[in-house]
Amino acid sequence: MKLERISTIRLLAILLLIVFTATYWNHFNNGFHFDDSHTIVNNGYVKDLKYFKEYFTDGATQSSLPTNQSYRPIVTLSAAVDYYLAGNKLDPFYFHISTFLWVIFQGIMMFFLFRQVFRKLTDQFAADAVALFAVAWYVLHTANAESINYISARSDIISTALVVAALVVYQYTTGKKKLWALPIIVVGILTKPTSVMYVGMLFAYILLFEEKTDLSKLSVNTFKNGWSAFKKSIAVIVVCGIAFLFTRQMEPETWIAGGPSVYNYLITQPFVILRYFWTFFIPINLSADTDWTLVTSLADYRFIVGMLFLIALAASIIYCSKKEQLRPISFGLIWFIVALVPTSSIIPLAEVTNDHRMFYPFMGLTMAASWGFYLLLKPQLEKSSAVRSITMILGLIILAGNAYGTHQRNIIWSSDESLWRDVTIKSPNNGRGLMNYGLAKMRVGDYQSAIDYYTRAFSTEYGNHPYLSLNMAICQAASGNSELAQRYYEESIQKGAGYPDCHYFYAQWLMKKGDVSNARYHLTEVLRLSPGHENAKQLLDGLSVSADQALKQKETLAATNPSPENYLNLSLEYYRLKRFEDCIAECRKAIELKPDYAEAYNNICCAYNELNEPEKAIKACEKALELNPGYELAKNNLNWGKSLLKK
306-332 pLDDT, tens digit each: 999 999 999 999 999 999 999 999 999
C-alpha atoms less than 13 angstroms from C-alpha of 161 in its C-beta half-sphere: 19
Instruction: Dihedral sign for Cα 175, 181, 183, 189, please.
Output: negative
* CATH assignment at residue 614: 1.25.40.10
Q: What does the DSSP 8-state code read for residue 321?
A: T
Residue 589 sits in the same domain as residue 561: yes
pLDDT given at position 158: 97
Phi, psi angle pair for 346, to nearest 5°: -95, 0
Q: Supply the pLDDT for residue 548.
A: 67
> Considering Cα of 502, then 503, then 506, then 508, what sign does the dihedral take?
negative
Residue 503 lies in a domain: no
The reported pLDDT for the residue numbered 4 is 67
Rounded CA separation 277/357 (Å): 12
Picking from 377, 396, 412, the residue at the C-terminal end of a domain is 412
pLDDT of residue 170: 96
The whole-angstrom separation of Cα 356 and Cα 139 is 14
Look up residue 344 and give its DSSP letter: S
Give every residue of the chain whose pLDDT is below 70, as ranges: 1-4, 542-548, 647
- Does one domain contain both 474 and 575? no
User: Are 162 and 93 found together in one domain?
Assistant: yes
Residue 510: what pLDDT? 87
> Distance between CA atoms of 93 and 293, rounded to whole angstroms?
35
> Do residues 383 and 477 both lie within one domain?
no
Convert the pLDDT of each residue in 47-62 to its tens digit.
Answer: 999 999 999 999 889 9
Q: Which domain holds residue 434?
A: 415-496
Please name every residue paired with 43 in a beta bridge, in sequence order, or none if there are none: 533
Domain assignment of residue 365, yes or no: yes
What pLDDT does 574 receive?
Answer: 87
Considering 346, 379, 412, which residue would you say is the last residue of a domain?
412
In sequence order, the 6+-apart residues with CB closer than 8 A to the CB of 201 are 163, 167, 334, 335, 338, 339
Same domain, 333 and 233: yes
Q: Where does a domain end: 412, 427, 461?
A: 412
Confidence at residue 443, expressed as pLDDT on a 0 to 100 scale: 85
User: What is the per-residue pLDDT for 379?
Assistant: 82
For residue 339, the model assigns a pLDDT of 97
The answer to whether the beta carbons of residues 3 and 120 sit under 8 Å apart is no
Taking a C-beta distance cutoff of 8 angstroms, is the pair 461, 431 a contact?
yes
Is position 33 within any domain?
yes
Looking at the fold, whether 603 and 486 belong to one and the same domain comes out as no
Indicate whether 188 and 239 sit together in one domain: yes
What is the Cα–Cα distance from 453 to 478, expressed in whole angstroms?
16
pLDDT of residue 632: 75
> For residues 253-288, b (16+ Cβ closer than 10 Å) or e, as one string?
ebbeeebeeeebbbbbbbbbbbbbbebbeebeebbb
Q: What number of helices (H) and strands (E) belong to the chain? A: 30, 0
The helix-helix angle for 564-576 and 547-560 (nearest 10°) equals 160
Our count of domains for the chain comes to 3
Q: Are residues 467 and 609 in the same domain?
A: no
- Cα separation, 83 vs 77, in Å, equals 10
CA dist 594 and 604 (Å) reads 15
CA angle at residue 417 from 281 to 537, to 5 degrees? 115
